Every structure is written in C-alpha cells, then in structure tokens.
Chains A and B, each alone.
Chain A
C-alpha cells in the first residue's frame, strides 16, 4: 500500500462555520505528512475525522485502506492518537495509565506491565512510572501521552500539535522521539502551527487555512513555489541601503524589502545575481554580504495566507487561552 492515509473532499460543518471545506490529504506509507496552519484552520477537525472521532459531512477518507466511516473499527486497530491536550488520567500513575491501555487492547497483566515499562524506558519516564501523572511536567505528560498512543503498536500515528505550549528543550526532546518513530516505519500525520516543526519533521506539507488546503508539496517545493529564491544584499555601510534597494529594484523588477541591515527581494533568474553585482559595482557600493537563498517557510506562509505564522511556541498558548475564554 503506497498511501497510508487518503482523504478526498472532506467537509465538516459546525453550525454556520465550515471547519473543513473540501480537504484532500494523502500521506505516503512510512512518511510524515505535516499539516500546517494557524489556529482554527481545521487541522484538529481533520485529525478527528481521520481518527474516526468525527463523521465528515461530505467526502471520504481511508486509513490503511479502510474507510474511516464504514470500517471505523478496523481503522482504530491501526491508529494511535496523541491529542492537543495530554490525555492521560492525572489520578493514575504512569504505569497504571499505560497498563490500562494495554489491558484494553487485550494484553494480559504481565504483558501489559512489560509493555508499559518498556515504553516508559524508551521515553525516559522509567523513574517517574510509579508517580501520579498529576506531578508530571508538561513535557513528561506529552511523552506519556505519546507512549499511550503507541501501546497498540500503531502503523499510523496522529500527532495533533504535539509541542504546542512546550518549552524549547521539551520540544526538541519530542522531535527526537518523533524522528525515532519515523525510523520504525510508522506513518505520521503531524499537525502544527510552527513552520520550523514542519520543516524539521515532515516529508510532505499541506498548508491549510480556513478549512482548505492552500498549498502542498515537500518543504523544498513549497519554498520554490514562492518564485524561486531570495536575494539578500547587505552593504558594508548602512548608509548605502537606499542605493542598494534601487539597484535591486531595477534588476529584479520587484519591490525589495529593506530589513535592518539588508535588502531582500525574490529573484526568478539566477543571472540577476550577476546583474546586481555589476550594478552595485557601477554605483561604487561596497558589499558586506551577498547571498542567494531559498525563502524561509515563514515567508512562504506569509505569502500563502496573508498573515504571518506563529513562530514563538511560548506565545500561542496564551492566545489559545484567550481565544477560549
């Protein structure tokens, strides 16, 4: 099977709002599909449909070849779900949480314990296994939640904003764990609002906004899709910035962006680089740095959605809280 997840034309309405407005998603088996979008774009709704928790109003989807509506039981045998909020029972210990899932999945007492202990070991929670999870830190809870979703050895794993609200250290830890899982051949659907996260982990990215997929491709393809490359010119003397902007504008035909110390503009033809160098030479401008680079995913996102993406994990938590209040 080449596509572990295949969704076509998914529509889901909540009253007046269309959370999903014809979403197509495909994840190749054994790869990571990053679903990137701002808050309220429909990412979680898409995951809930694919995890059989929600019935779509229109469209259909298969996971591992099974229909998420008609064969939901079969789908549930394949999937693991790690939600936005760490869904562990706070009153139970780490071991008890994992053993409960193991028992539900048909493991006998001793097997369930062994499975729980090996997962705790793997996620560096072995020492905390006997403690109630209400005493865990945010990062530990996420790791336990991820462990809980792996008890049944899923072949398709949904990670719904796994690092939202985590500090950078815990986020890096979680990224390492996810990379490990990918090595095991699991197909992962990862939703995130962080471009960096999608760039780091995903093989393919679908950018989603207002319930629609507005762009898709590999991280590199998405960067190319935005008109190739970005020219970055930094004059040796700040005073030359306007002169540099003038030259760049003349060559590229685009309105350059003047950042603090550099001038940036998209270029479509690499011959423009030589033209800019000549132009600057004629003007007698000394260049400190001159580079041709791929645009960052931030720039891609801005161009696609018209609003800047969130890039500081710490901030969005507050926004979410305020939005909910």
Chain B
C-alpha cells in the first residue's frame, strides 16, 4: 500500500461540515437497511394495527358506545404509541452494532465520534415517519377523518420532535445494556405503563381519581391530547407547550448521558 495517508503534518480537527457529512453517510446506512428490510417497518406497524383492531372493533363499543366514535378517539393515540414504541429500535440497533463489532470499526476510523449516533438517530426519524404514515393511512381506510391538513402536519411534526428527544433515552439504554434482551426487557417494562397510563386509550377524566394525577403529568398524555386536537383543527397551546418542554427535558438529560456513555464505552 502506498504511504499517501502518512500525513507528516498533524491533521486538522474535524469541522462541523465533516462531522455532518460523516453523520449523513451513516444515516444513508440506516436508510439502506430500511430498503433491505422493508418488513422491519411493516413489523413496527403490526402491533399498532393489532391495537387498532383490538381496541376499535372489540372494545370500542363498550368503551365509547360505538366503534366509530372510539376509532376517532383512539387513533391519534395509537399513532403516538407506535412512535413511542419505535424509539426503542434506536437502542436495539446501537446495541447490536456494539455486539457485532461494527462500532469498533467506526471508532477506529478517522471520522467524527458523533457520526454513528447521529446516523442511527436520523435514520430512525425516517423510520418513525414511515410508521406514522402507515398507521394514518390505515386509519383513513377505516374511516378516520383528518379534519385539518395543516393541523395533521403539525401533529406529525410534534410527534417527531418528541420521538427525537425520547430516542436518546433509548440510545442510552442501548449503550449500557449487556444484551439485546436487556434492552427489550427495559423497553417493555417502561413503555407499557407509559403508554397505557396516558390518555391514549382512555381519557384522563374516566380514570380512577387516584390515578388521574399520574395520567395528567405523563408527557404522553399531553402529546396525545395535542395530536388529537391538532388533527381535529384545534390549536391546544398548553398541551403543545407542555410536550415541547418535556421534549427539551428528555433531550437535555439523555443526550449528554448517551454521548458520555458512548465516548467511554469500551
């Protein structure tokens, strides 16, 4: 091999441009994986489709009087739930990269340290968007009406902001767990109470009174209520602001922790 790369002068530190380029290259990797495995995105949406079927058609009548009414209530929540569950994929894919040694390869290259994390997260945002689209289309097929198109776009954007913040928690778990199983265990024990203990399936005012404070403080309740109202053409300022504040808090806590953990991962 030629000695072209033997730089006699110290190489300049990586600027923002180079770091971004490295991050985008690894985003492309995530997208190639979606292309290679479209069933993975479909897999992500099978559970929500089950939830739609189960709740709307089986429980709907009992919960809301008619399945159509419950469909209109629950569908925005099921979109939220889908994406919240999907954030766990970030942790799973990081964990699998570490286990397979792909991370070691990246870390031995002269590239931005942040690139593997950025690539994983940006790629996952695309994945989240796809799963939102799939569930929304299914909703429309069974008669769900998107009253306001700008409102729907805003709702999707809000979901993605929240998912972007939450996926850093998933990343942290993925970087810390010893195995894929560990990540899954953690995800399940956290995600079920978080989504069912929100206004996704049952409105807060129909919950037992002792539980209500918990439901009302759950960020997913605020996100769900905001999405519901936005799609219906409203502009629920307080829910939107609360969701954004929660997103900022998640990001501020978990992003530095994930990066710290990533840097000292050995």
Residue positions of A touching B, CB distance < 8 A: 48, 51-54, 64, 71, 73-74, 76-81, 83-92, 96, 100-101, 103-105, 132, 148-150, 152-155, 181, 184-186
Is B50 an interface position by the 8 A CB rule?
no
Contact A71 B10 (CB under 8 A): yes
Is B209 an interface position by the 8 A CB rule?
no
Selected from A87, A96, A154, the residue in CB contact (under 8 A) with B101 is: A87
Pick the 9 closest A-B CB pairs, nearest first.
A87-B101, A76-B110, A81-B108, A77-B110, A103-B25, A87-B105, A85-B101, A184-B1, A83-B101
Interface string of B47-80 (1 = CB under 8 A from A): 0000000000000000000000000000000000
* Stretch of B26-34, B125-133, B157-165 on the interface side: B26-34
A3 to chain B, nearest CB (A): 14
Chain A's interface: helix, strand, loop or mixed, by majority? loop
Q: How far is the CA of A154 from the CA of B2 in the complex (A)?
A: 9
A53, A87, A103, A104: which has the most chain B beta carbons within 10 Å? A104
Contact A105 B29 (CB under 8 A): no
Is B180 an interface position by the 8 A CB rule?
no
Selected from B32, B37, B102, B106, the residue in CB contact (under 8 A) with A88 is: B102
B26 / chain A contacts, CB cutoff of 8 Å: 100, 104
B13 / chain A contacts, CB cutoff of 8 Å: 73
Given contacts A53-B266, A76-B108, contact A92 B36 (CB under 8 A): yes
What 13 additional pairs, Cβ within 8 angstroms, besides A53-B107, A101-B109? A52-B108, A73-B13, A74-B10, A81-B104, A81-B105, A83-B104, A89-B102, A101-B105, A104-B106, A149-B105, A152-B109, A154-B1, A154-B5
Q: Which of B78-124 contact A (CB under 8 A)?
A: 100-102, 104-111, 115
Is B141 an interface position by the 8 A CB rule?
no
Given contacts A64-B6, A153-B2, contact A73 B104 (CB under 8 A): no
Contact B7 A91 (CB under 8 A): no
Selected from B5, B7, B37, B104, the residue in CB contact (under 8 A) with A87 is: B104
Q: How far is the CA of A71 from the CA of B11 in the complex (A)?
A: 10
Interface string of B2-25 (1 = CB under 8 A from A): 111111001101100000001001
Selected from A73, A104, A155, A186, the residue in CB contact (under 8 A) with B22 is: A104
B11 / chain A contacts, CB cutoff of 8 Å: 73-74, 77
Jot down 13 A-B pairs with beta carbons below 8 A, ordered by A. A51-B104, A51-B108, A73-B110, A74-B11, A77-B11, A83-B104, A87-B102, A90-B100, A104-B111, A104-B115, A152-B5, A155-B3, A184-B1
A4 to chain B, nearest CB (A): 10
Q: How far is the CA of A101 from the CA of B29 in the complex (A)?
A: 10
Q: How far is the CA of A78 from the CA of B6 in the complex (A)?
A: 6
B32 / chain A contacts, CB cutoff of 8 Å: 91-92, 96
Q: How far is the CA of A101 from the CA of B116 in the complex (A)?
A: 12
B11, B32, B108, B266: which has the most chain A beta carbons within 10 Å? B108
Q: How far is the CA of A150 from the CA of B105 in the complex (A)?
A: 12
A87 / chain B contacts, CB cutoff of 8 Å: 100-102, 104-105
Q: How far is the CA of A89 from the CA of B105 in the complex (A)?
A: 11
Residue of A nearest to B24 (CB): A103
Interface string of B136-153 (1 = CB under 8 A from A): 000000000000000000
Q: How far is the CA of A78 from the CA of B115 in the complex (A)?
A: 19
Contact A77 B29 (CB under 8 A): no
B7 / chain A contacts, CB cutoff of 8 Å: 74, 77
Contact A155 B6 (CB under 8 A): yes
A75 to chain B, nearest CB (A): 9
Q: How far is the CA of A38 from the CA of B105 in the complex (A)?
A: 24
B106 / chain A contacts, CB cutoff of 8 Å: 104
B104 / chain A contacts, CB cutoff of 8 Å: 48, 51, 53, 81, 83, 87
Q: How far is the CA of A74 from the CA of B108 in the complex (A)?
A: 11
